[in-house]
Amino acid sequence: MSRLENKVAFITGGSRGMGAAIALKLAKDGADIAITYTSAASKADETVKAIEKLGRRAIAFQADNLDARAVEAAVNETHARFGRLDILVNNAGVYSMDTVDALALEEFDRVMSIHVRASFVASKAAAALMGTGGRIITIGSNLAEIVPFPGLIAYSTSKAALTGLTANIVQPGSTDTDMNPADGDHADGQRARMAIPRFGQASDIAGLVAFLAGEEGRFITGASLMIDGGANA
């Protein structure tokens, strides 16, 4: 039997990047998968089809993290369609960069809502549906603890807030995604801070999430797990 056989996982922002990698990894481990997306319908469809090729059930919901009712409805509909809910991964996120003097209040509120408020909404809805042994895992950032350059006040504040909100939080460092590509303008500076001087892969993050979601992670709770190539070490 696969590690997550008969389990159901719900992943916000699962159409691409880390979210898609997490969805595929949990599906490979045996779980049926629900994902949300904001606008990338074609990417969400690709992820669903890739999961179905693995022999698992999959569904995608259009649910912007700014819309609390849509997020809550997607969680509830997942339970209704699949008959259970075992794993929640709060993954959906945005990047925002501005110094405090230039940062608009509306942008600060937007980032906090997408990262923190939506994670609370999804966690509250999922916890009401999960049985014993359910897992809530949130994707944070190593920038929640150490911010090596200016302009990340909204992003880092929101990620720091998540450490106090969630049962288990995974804190990635520089990871090769559309949001922060390994060949980007600031990539060399990031690698210079790392003990392992290369960007992580989305599959690295997915592997840690799968560990927490599986039987091996059953005694881990209230943990903040850094996976950043030693950047914060």
Residue 232 included in any domain: no
pLDDT tens digits for range 189-210: 999 999 999 999 999 999 999 9
Residue 149, pLDDT score: 87
Residue 37 included in any domain: yes
Residue 153, pLDDT score: 95
Residue 2, pLDDT score: 83
Stretch 112-135: mean pLDDT: 97
| Residue closest to 92 by CA, chosen among 34, 36, 45, 133 | 36
Phi-psi region of 133 (alpha: psi -120 to 50; beta: other; left: phi over 0): left
Phi-psi region of 177 (alpha: psi -120 to 50; beta: other; left: phi over 0): beta
Residue 154 included in any domain: yes
Residue 123 included in any domain: yes
Stretch 159-168: mean pLDDT: 95
Assess contact for 193 and 145: CB atoms under 8 A.
no
Residue 183 included in any domain: yes
183 residue type, one letter: D
Stretch 33-45: mean pLDDT: 97
| pTM confidence score | 0.96
155 is catalytic: yes
Provide the pLDDT confidence category of residue 11 given band limits of 50, 70 and 90.
very high
pLDDT tens digits for range 81-105: 999 999 999 999 999 999 999 999 9
For the chain, the domain total comes to: 1
Average pLDDT, the chain: 96
The answer to which of 1-10, 71-80, 130-139 has the lowest mean pLDDT is 1-10
135 residue type, one letter: R
109 residue type, one letter: D
Residue 3 included in any domain: no
Say how far apart CA 153 and CA 195 lie, in whole Å. Answer: 25
CATH code of residue 158: 3.40.50.720
The answer to which of 70-79, 112-121, 174-183 has the lowest mean pLDDT is 174-183
Residue 67 included in any domain: yes
Domain that holds residue 89: 8-227
Q: Which residue has the tokens 């909100």?
A: 165
> Please, which residues bridge with residue 170 across strands?
139, 225
Provide the pLDDT confidence category of residue 175 given band limits of 50, 70 and 90.
very high
Residue 204, pLDDT score: 98
Residue 1 included in any domain: no
Exactly one of 155, 172, 209, 212 is catalytic; name it. 155
